[in-house]
A and B are shown apart, each in its own frame.
Chain A
Amino acid sequence: MHTPWQAAAAQKNSARELRPLTGNEAIARAAWEAGVRVAAAYPGTPSTEILESLATYPAEDLHAQWSTNEKVALDVALGASFAGSRALCAMKHVGLNVAADAFMTSTYIGVNGGLVLVVCDDPGIHSSQNEQDSRIYGQLASVPVLEPSDAQEAYDLTRLAFDLSEEFDTPVIVRSTTRLSHTRSTVTVGARADIASRGFVERPSKNVMIPAHARARHLVVLEREAKLKDYFAASAITRWETGDSSFGIVTAGTCYPYVREVLPNATVLKLGASWPLPEQLLRDFCASVDRVFVVEELEPIIEKEIAALGIKVEGKRFFPRAGEFSPEVVRGGLVQAGILPAPPSLNAWVPEPVVRPPVLCAGCPHTSSFMAVRASGARVAGDIGCYTLAVLDPLRGIDTCVSMGSSIGNAVGMAKAGETKPVVATIGDSTFLHAGIPALIDAVYNQANIAVMLLDNHITAMTGGQEHPGTGKTLRGDPAPQINYEALIRACGVQWVKTVDSYDLAATHQALREAINFRGVAVLISNRPCVLDPIKIKGPPLEVVTSQCTACQSCMNLGCPALTWSDEWFEGRHRVKIDPALCIGCTLCAQVCTIDCIKIATPPVTP
């Protein structure tokens, strides 16, 4: 791909080099090169590494921060754009739901400094609560959506996105997916452009969205969209690759390499942007071939647009609307469509797969918290985080899970609806700061009778250990003011607040009972750091005195990965053993052992 800016960059910096980068790293690199001054995000798989990577570039070049949630992150980026600097905001697909309020108006305002939103979807739901298609947000907001298909394009299109943003006065979405974000391939990189701030431009009719201004701006947005259609029709990022004319494939993003893998010689229209779509080009392309297929992951956005032009097009008839694509999926669809012959069936031996869902780590403090929650007999509103795993056996301690910060609001609703069991909401520290505080205030204000368990493990654990306002450190690791949860919660009007060490199982049970018995909103803070972050905790391991073990399997209730069945039996049941390599010595199993046969290993193994 040769775009003008790329050639210009090559001239400016002859020392261009090749680097193996993931899609996320390539996006960060491109943003840095594009002269980004402010970058903000809330961590979320698969988008997390974009900001982590940006934080490795010099602090003089850009300010990179973790924001408390995606709406705040977008508002921060928008603020930087208002001030005339280039800005980036990264999020996962569900993060755009949180940021959607600001986003839907930012499209009316447009930009001063270039503003790029990187949105990483998760087709296949590797680590999310749904698999929505963010391209629909682009359509909804009339914002261009660039869809890179590999790390090089992630780099190229991110750089382009900043230029487009300023040229067309619009926020630009760069849409990635898990497969692109976490795939590493070679990228040709360049140097950072020296882009001066444009300074704040006072123009209330563009920057202040009161109804009178917004009505006028909506028309501007529609005009802009028409111009963008023409731009993408002519742009080098839209590629018409000619081959066999009996059929043609329209595709974009990560589907493109799958199409090429399966059909190396096909006629392909590869769209660099999946919104807005170049109508005339699509008409011309479709007219040049006998049959047209659209290969796109998740929703039939391109397919419906082509169909709306009155063109016969096939797509979701053969390719699924749910789940992640792969060469096999694309091949399967094309076989069904009669384009490819059915592959010979192999005499495949299918071993019986072991069930291996993700589990809470050995010594995870959430384990004991959920032992207590489970024993409380409560109706439990859960939230998004590692602790969502407590829904699985053996803890089986969560009844609902919706989205970041939902647990407390869900609990209020359940309590107000007359749920007969006690109602408990569980929420992690980072999630609480993200979207739990307004819900807690709501609970206090409306005098709900609920208990909230704030699972404070001092880190954003699920995404791999990112800092947040409760950790006392910034994204770059600099010291920062630290949130005092007890003071914050009391300031919200909560009368009953207590902190407990979740490794003290009896105290946790006792405190939770008190919290549930309190009439009104009670918040119990279960306070124990994550065993993986910021340091991997490893204490002296425990061992089972096997000869005494009565195989009651009380300890197996913890679901601790360090505990497994030994080869010895007692009354028809496996006795238990502890893997010393995994055990971190949290002592929870010893606390629940009915006959006290779990001890510190002798001789103690030094970690």
Chain B
Amino acid sequence: MNEQSKVAALNADSEPVAFNAALAEPFNVLIVGVGGQGVIMVSKVLAALAQAHGFEVKQSEVHGMAKRGGAVFSHVRFGQRVWSPTIPKGEADVLIALEWAEGLRWLPHLKRETGVFICDTKRIVPPFACLNRRLGAPLRYSTETAEQVSAYVSEAYAIDATRMAEELGNDRAANVVLLGALSTVLEFALPEWEKTVTSFVPKKTIAVNSAAFELGRNWIAEAKTAPPADDAAARPAPVHAHYAARLEITDAWCKSCEICVKLCPERCLTLNADRIVEMTAPEKCTGCRLCEWLCPDFAIRVHLDTDAAVMEAAR
């Protein structure tokens, strides 16, 4: 099977047919997402399908601590002979991503010329992206757009699979929407896809998952005629006022309760020798106002100065 025909199904109107040629080189599918999204289930379905076709299959996944909301990946390789359980960088034929930023993280693993990128536009913003307390701090989340991705790989689909699954009444079925999309790329027969998906989902959810699979499959067909939706680009650039933070401490009112010291997120306050609160690391202060809100004696006031000179000094 040559490179071209691996993705030929995308351009054909007919049903994908079973692999009729031996895969001399392994076919590589990389499935990525965030812990708890169902990455492993997608890879199991794919591995089972390939196995049923008599291919040698290797599927490699991550376990343990990484599952705690961290990045999760699963490599699926199948063909006549598969050696390495992991896909070498730049060798993935298909990248299925259950989360937008994770799709981008793994993009360099995709084959530059023929790779197919299928990515849920679902954004799971990690707590780390929201930890900067500085005024006007940007969200530390991927800013790359679907168009940039389209320009990079041969075929890119940004699909709102989670919303589609939600509308079916079960957001957990988002991974099956993506399986439906994947089914248009891989030439396994449709009944086999359906049978395999059904065998891997909980009995009670077969109906919703079948519908999810169908949605994903149809979505790709429609997407081929329309440009990919650009979720990231549609977001307005943040608008905010510019301030520099300054603390005003009224020593006489401070009764040494230490609440502000203990709860300051930047740990820039301490009690001095007289047990009066003091700013010891002004460069760390972000003006978050927590000390002001928490002080039972109103001994701290936070000023957000707009004065240019102060701004300059704060820098």
- Footprint of B on A, CB under 8 Å? 20, 45-46, 48-49, 126-127, 150, 178-180, 182-186, 254, 257-258, 260-261, 264, 326-328, 331, 346-361, 374-377, 386, 389, 393-394, 462-464, 550, 552-554, 556-557, 559-561, 563-565, 567, 569, 571-574, 581, 594-595
User: Is B84 a contact of A327 with CB atoms below 8 Å?
Assistant: yes
Q: Report how far A66 CA is from B194 CA in the complex, Å.
A: 39
Please name the 6 residue pairs, one residue from A and one from B, whose CB atoms are nearest each other, closest first. Answer: A45-B64, A127-B64, A358-B70, A572-B135, A358-B68, A594-B293
Given the contacts A150-B85, A185-B58, A394-B265, A349 and B107 also touching, CB distance less than 8 Å: yes
User: Is B70 a contact of A359 with CB atoms below 8 Å?
Assistant: yes
- Chain A neighbourhood of B235, CB < 8 A: 567
Q: Indicate with 1 or 0, residue by residue over B49-90, a CB within 8 angstroms of chain A CB atoms.
A: 001000011111111111111110000000000111110111
User: Is A356 a contact of B290 with CB atoms below 8 Å?
Assistant: no
Given the contacts A183-B58, A186-B57, A571-B304, A357 and B88 also touching, CB distance less than 8 Å: no
Q: Is B101 located at the chain interface by the 8 A CB criterion?
A: yes
22 contacts between A and B (CB under 8 A): A20-B59, A126-B66, A127-B63, A184-B59, A185-B58, A185-B85, A186-B51, A260-B84, A326-B84, A349-B108, A356-B70, A358-B65, A550-B293, A554-B290, A561-B127, A563-B130, A564-B129, A571-B241, A572-B241, A572-B243, A574-B130, A594-B293
Q: Report how far A134 CA is from B293 CA in the complex, Å.
A: 54
Q: Report how far A455 CA is from B103 CA in the complex, Å.
A: 36
- Chain B neighbourhood of A182, CB < 8 A: 60-63
Q: Report how far A186 CA is from B47 CA in the complex, Å.
A: 10
**What residue in chain B is nearest A394 (Cβ atoms)?**
B131
- Chain A neighbourhood of B65, CB < 8 A: 45, 126-127, 358, 386, 389, 462
Given the contacts A127-B64, A260-B83, A355-B128, A150 and B238 also touching, CB distance less than 8 Å: no
Chain B residues numbered 150-187 whose CB sits less than 8 Å from any CB in chain A: 152, 171
- Chain A neighbourhood of B84, CB < 8 A: 257-258, 260-261, 326-327
Which of A49, A179, A573 has the most CB atoms of chain B within a 10 A radius of its CB? Answer: A573
User: Is B143 a contact of A352 with CB atoms below 8 Å?
Assistant: yes
Which of B48, B60, B102 contacts A20, CB < 8 Å? Answer: B48
- Chain B neighbourhood of A354, CB < 8 A: 101-102, 104-105, 126, 129, 140-142
User: Is B59 a contact of A185 with CB atoms below 8 Å?
Assistant: yes
Which of A46, A182, A375 has the most CB atoms of chain B within a 10 A radius of its CB? Answer: A182
Given the contacts A258-B84, A569-B238, A594-B290, A348 and B108 also touching, CB distance less than 8 Å: yes
User: Is A571 a contact of B243 with CB atoms below 8 Å?
Assistant: yes
- Chain B neighbourhood of A376, CB < 8 A: 262
User: Is A573 a contact of B133 with CB atoms below 8 Å?
Assistant: yes
User: Is A46 a contact of B64 with CB atoms below 8 Å?
Assistant: yes
User: Is A572 a contact of B304 with CB atoms below 8 Å?
Assistant: yes
Taking the closest CB of chain B, its distance from the CB of A400, in whole angstroms, is 18
Q: Report how far A393 CA is from B102 CA in the complex, Å.
A: 21
Which of B66, B105, B128, B242 has the most CB atoms of chain A within a 10 A radius of its CB? Answer: B128
- Given A184-B61, A354-B140, A394-B131, 5 more pairs with CB closer than 8 A: A126-B65, A354-B101, A355-B128, A356-B105, A358-B67
Taking the closest CB of chain A, its distance from the CB of B315, in whole angstroms, is 15
User: Is A261 a contact of B68 with CB atoms below 8 Å?
Assistant: no
User: Is A352 a contact of B142 with CB atoms below 8 Å?
Assistant: yes
Q: Report how far A374 CA is from B263 CA in the complex, Å.
A: 8
User: Is B243 a contact of A553 with CB atoms below 8 Å?
Assistant: no
Taking the closest CB of chain A, its distance from the CB of B170, in whole angstroms, is 11
- Footprint of A on B, CB under 8 Å? 34-35, 44, 47-48, 51, 56-71, 82-86, 88-90, 101-102, 104-105, 107-108, 112, 124-131, 133, 135-137, 139-144, 148, 152, 171, 235-236, 238-243, 261-263, 265, 288-290, 293-294, 304
- Chain A neighbourhood of B51, CB < 8 A: 20, 186
- Chain B neighbourhood of A554, CB < 8 A: 263, 290, 293
Q: Report how far A81 CA is from B131 CA in the complex, Å.
A: 54
User: Is A326 a contact of B64 with CB atoms below 8 Å?
Assistant: no
Which of A126, A150, A260, A556 contacts B130, CB < 8 Å? Answer: A556
**What residue in chain B is nearest A463 (Cβ atoms)?**
B64
- Chain B neighbourhood of A572, CB < 8 A: 135-136, 240-243, 304
User: Is A179 a contact of B85 with CB atoms below 8 Å?
Assistant: yes
User: Is A327 a contact of B88 with CB atoms below 8 Å?
Assistant: yes
Taking the closest CB of chain B, its distance from the CB of A572, in whole angstroms, is 4
**What residue in chain A is nearest B306 (Cβ atoms)?**
A572
User: Is B112 a contact of A346 with CB atoms below 8 Å?
Assistant: yes
User: Is A185 a contact of B263 with CB atoms below 8 Å?
Assistant: no
- Chain A neighbourhood of B62, CB < 8 A: 126, 182
User: Is A552 a contact of B288 with CB atoms below 8 Å?
Assistant: yes
User: Is A183 a contact of B59 with CB atoms below 8 Å?
Assistant: yes
Given the contacts A179-B60, A351-B107, A352-B142, A556 and B131 also touching, CB distance less than 8 Å: yes
Q: Report how far A560 CA is from B44 CA in the complex, Å.
A: 30
- Chain A neighbourhood of B148, CB < 8 A: 349
- Chain B neighbourhood of A261, CB < 8 A: 83-84, 88
User: Is A127 a contact of B66 with CB atoms below 8 Å?
Assistant: yes
Q: Report how far A463 CA is from B107 CA in the complex, Å.
A: 29
Q: Report how far A386 CA is from B59 CA in the complex, Å.
A: 26
Given the contacts A127-B64, A346-B112, A572-B240, A565 and B293 also touching, CB distance less than 8 Å: no
Q: Report how far A175 CA is from B221 CA in the complex, Å.
A: 48
Q: Report how far A550 CA is from B140 CA in the complex, Å.
A: 21
User: Is B128 a contact of A386 with CB atoms below 8 Å?
Assistant: no
Which of B34, B48, B133, B241 contacts A553, CB < 8 Å? Answer: B133
Q: Report how far A349 CA is from B150 CA in the complex, Å.
A: 12
Taking the closest CB of chain B, its distance from the CB of A463, in whole angstroms, is 7
- Chain A neighbourhood of B141, CB < 8 A: 354
Q: Report how far A427 CA is from B46 CA in the complex, Å.
A: 40
Taking the closest CB of chain A, its distance from the CB of B79, in whole angstroms, is 12
Given the contacts A45-B64, A46-B64, A351 and B290 also touching, CB distance less than 8 Å: no
User: Is A393 a contact of B263 with CB atoms below 8 Å?
Assistant: no
User: Is B104 a contact of A353 with CB atoms below 8 Å?
Assistant: yes
Taking the closest CB of chain A, its distance from the CB of B15, in whole angstroms, is 26
Q: Report how far A254 CA is from B60 CA in the complex, Å.
A: 12
User: Is B71 a contact of A348 with CB atoms below 8 Å?
Assistant: no
Taking the closest CB of chain B, its distance from the CB of A131, in whole angstroms, is 14
Q: Report how far A123 CA is from B86 CA in the complex, Å.
A: 14
User: Is A361 a contact of B104 with CB atoms below 8 Å?
Assistant: no
Q: Report how far A185 CA is from B141 CA in the complex, Å.
A: 36
**What residue in chain B is nearest A569 (Cβ atoms)?**
B240
Given the contacts A182-B60, A358-B65, A386-B68, A328 and B128 also touching, CB distance less than 8 Å: no
Which of B48, B63, B67, B107 contacts A46, CB < 8 Å? Answer: B63
- Chain B neighbourhood of A351, CB < 8 A: 104-105, 107, 142, 144
User: Is B86 a contact of A326 with CB atoms below 8 Å?
Assistant: yes
User: Is A20 a contact of B47 with CB atoms below 8 Å?
Assistant: yes
Q: Report how far A522 CA is from B294 CA in the complex, Å.
A: 29
